[in-house]
């Protein structure tokens, strides 16, 4: 493959200004494909006509070299540890904004003015209650159901409750669905938690901000008002900001793929939640705590580190490594600081599991295997520890990730629906099964 670099940089529109040439060695034929450039980040080869022109598909399991869409929402430079939302660095957003501001930025493309923010927060606050009939749905689940299973079911069921915001071709309905999802997801998550512990559901409180209201719905009981600790509420808000969007990860790609068929937004978010659940993705924060519990005491850490390095052992250190960040995860750096603030505030720095976590962090950051493979603690390593300190059971960790990511999912879904080049997502495959064979009747098989 050769690349011509004589012309000026192009833009995301197909352009012959820059191209790559592919030579098929079996026929000697050459084919030329346009190169597209975004505002920052690596260039991409536009292979939309590859099959039509050459008869070849590409093969890229895990999509490690595939850009599936154009997007203006989030940019990641994994080598440099950069994460930008609409051009703003995550460190600035986490330090200087609250979650609704970031949600507005993701949905509308700009940071809100004071007036826009007030209006947005009012809209979100006024949509936090869920249809009363939706609470009956919870009662159909076993009390010991995993809250992520409940979330998948209840989110999918939302399309049966909010018919007036399922027409994806109507921009107003799309925006109403987006607001409803951002507003109601904390309520539904808190209900899933309350149901699992056998306590009555707690209604939202309009006098609290987004994060504090969520904590109140989780930890208040009808006989006792909940007054959130400001450091804990701030940490919750930061966890939400740091998980709000992350480009075309597995769950976001799932939301886009589900939405590409024209499915309604609530169904798409339910699909995203299902994808998030796995331990290689959002389920990692829960897996971190399970792993720390399994390790049990600091003396056993070397044994687990040894297992993580053993190629014949499938065990991995949960909360370490990232597909995209190969230097450091900028979210993890903010989360680490918040983690220590929360532990200090709550006076639980000596908790045994947290001691194991801190020792594991120290070893992994100084061990050659982890340094060479660029395996750093990721955001889920610290978020699990903070959430445990706040008092959430481990089964709720991934649910909290879903609460935060809903705004990213819905912003990406809206962007896709509004993109004129959008098509139904339909990857192809490298078939390695039997070629056509002669049918054998049942009597003759054996």
Binding span for ligand CMC by CB under 6 A among 25-33, 120-128, 315-323, 386-394: 315-323
* Helix residue spans in 261-323 (DSSP H): 265-276, 284-295, 301-309
Which of 90, 190, 375, 390 is close enough to bind ligand CMC by CB under 6 A? 375
Q: Residue 81, interface with ligand CMC (CB under 6 A)?
A: no
Structure token digits, residue 415: 């962007």
Whether 217 contacts 204, CB under 8 Å: yes
Which of 316, 346, 393, 394 is close enough to bind ligand CMC by CB under 6 A? 316
Which of 125, 196, 249, 254 is close enough to bind ligand CMC by CB under 6 A? 249
Whether 251 contacts 282, CB under 8 Å: yes
Which of 208, 284, 339, 342 is close enough to bind ligand CMC by CB under 6 A? 284
CA 364 → CA 121, 235, 360, 374, distances in Å? 41, 25, 6, 10
Q: Residue 213, interface with ligand CMC (CB under 6 A)?
A: no
Q: How far apart are the C-alpha atoms of 361 and 51, rounded to whole Å? A: 47
- Closest residue (Cβ) to ligand CMC? 321
Q: Residue 280, interface with ligand CMC (CB under 6 A)?
A: yes
Residues 133-162 that bind ligand CMC (CB under 6 A): none
Q: Residue 322, interface with ligand CMC (CB under 6 A)?
A: yes
Q: Residue 404, interface with ligand CMC (CB under 6 A)?
A: no
Residues 6+ apart with CB under 8 A from 286: 279, 384, 394, 395, 397, 398
Q: Residue 318, interface with ligand CMC (CB under 6 A)?
A: yes
Closest CA to 135 of 181, 179, 192: 192
Q: Residue 241, interface with ligand CMC (CB under 6 A)?
A: no
Q: Each residue of 187-202: b (16+ CB within 10 Å) or e?
A: bbbbbbbbbbeeeebb
Structure token digits, residue 300: 């056993």
> What are the φ and ψ backbone dihedral angles of 166, each rounded to 5 degrees?
-110, 0
Q: Compute the least distance from the CB of residue 159 to ligand CMC, in Å.
A: 25
Q: Residue 321, interface with ligand CMC (CB under 6 A)?
A: yes
Closest CA to 46 of 68, 14, 73: 14
Supply the DSSP symbol for 221.
Answer: B
Which of 263, 380, 392, 415 is close enough to bind ligand CMC by CB under 6 A? 380
Q: How far apart are the C-alpha atoms of 353 and 290, rounded to whole Å? A: 10
Which of 99, 320, 392, 397 is close enough to bind ligand CMC by CB under 6 A? 320
Which of 112, 147, 319, 384 is close enough to bind ligand CMC by CB under 6 A? 319
Which of 310, 359, 373, 391 is close enough to bind ligand CMC by CB under 6 A? 373
What string of DSSP letters covers 152-195?
HHHHHHGGGT-GGG--TT-HHHHHHHHHHHHHHHHHHHHHHHHH
Q: Compute the least distance from the CB of residue 45 to ligand CMC, in Å.
A: 22
Annotated active-site residue 209? The verdict is: no
Supply the DSSP symbol for 80.
Answer: T
Annotated active-site residue 146? The verdict is: no
Residues 290-309 that bind ligand CMC (CB under 6 A): 308
Q: Compute the least distance from the CB of residue 336 to ligand CMC, in Å.
A: 14
Site of interaction with ligand CMC (CB under 6 A): 249, 280-282, 284, 308, 311, 316-323, 373, 375, 378-380
Residues serving a catalytic function are: 322, 380
């Amino acid at each position: 493959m050769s690349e011509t670099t004589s012309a000026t940089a192009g833009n995301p529109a197909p352009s012959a200004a820059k191209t790559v040439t592919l030579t098929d060695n079996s026929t000697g034929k050459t084919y030329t494909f346009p190169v597209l450039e975004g505002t920052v980040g690596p260039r991409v080869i536009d292979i939309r006509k590859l099959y039509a022109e050459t008869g070849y598909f590409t093969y890229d399991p895990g999509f490690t070299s595939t850009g599936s869409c154009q997007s203006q929402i989030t940019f990641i430079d994994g080598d440099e540890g950069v994460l930008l939302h609409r051009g703003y660095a995550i460190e600035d957003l986490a330090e200087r904004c609250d979650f609704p501001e970031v949600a507005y930025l993701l949905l509308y493309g700009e940071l809100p003015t004071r007036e826009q923010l007030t209006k947005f927060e009012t809209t979100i606050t006024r949509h936090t209650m869920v249809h009363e009939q939706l609470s009956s749905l919870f009662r159909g689940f076993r009390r010991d159901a995993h809250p992520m299973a409940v979330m998948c079911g209840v989110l999918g069921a939302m399309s049966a409750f909010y018919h007036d915001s399922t027409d994806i071709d109507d921009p107003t309905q799309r925006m109403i669905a987006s607001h409803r999802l951002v507003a109601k997801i904390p309520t539904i998550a808190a209900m899933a938690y309350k149901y699992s512990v056998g306590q009555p559901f707690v209604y939202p409180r309009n006098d609290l901000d987004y994060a504090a209201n969520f904590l109140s719905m989780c930890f208040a009981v009808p006989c006792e008002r909940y007054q959130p600790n400001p450091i804990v509420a701030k940490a919750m808000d930061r966890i939400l900001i740091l998980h709000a969007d992350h480009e075309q990860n597995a769950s976001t790609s799932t939301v886009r793929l589900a939405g590409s068929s024209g499915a309604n937004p609530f169904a798409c978010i339910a699909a995203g939640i299902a994808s998030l659940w796995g331990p290689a993705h959002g389920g990692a924060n829960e897996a971190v705590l399970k792993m720390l519990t399994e390790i049990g005491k600091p003396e056993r850490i070397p044994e687990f580190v040894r297992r993580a390095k053993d190629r014949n052992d499938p065990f991995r250190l949960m909360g370490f490594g990232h597909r995209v960040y190969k230097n450091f995860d900028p979210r993890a750096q903010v989360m680490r600081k918040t983690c220590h603030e929360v532990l200090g505030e709550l006076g639980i720095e000596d908790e045994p599991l947290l001691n194991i976590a801190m020792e594991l962090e120290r070893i992994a950051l100084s061990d050659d295997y982890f340094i060479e493979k660029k395996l750093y603690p990721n955001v889920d390593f610290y978020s699990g520890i903070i959430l445990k300190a706040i008092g959430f059971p481990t089964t709720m960790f991934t649910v909290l990730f879903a609460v935060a990511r809903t705004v990213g999912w819905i912003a990406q879904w809206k962007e896709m629906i509004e993109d004129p080049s959008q098509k139904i997502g339909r990857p192809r495959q490298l078939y390695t099964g039997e070629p056509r064979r002669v049918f054998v009747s049942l009597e003759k098989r054996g």
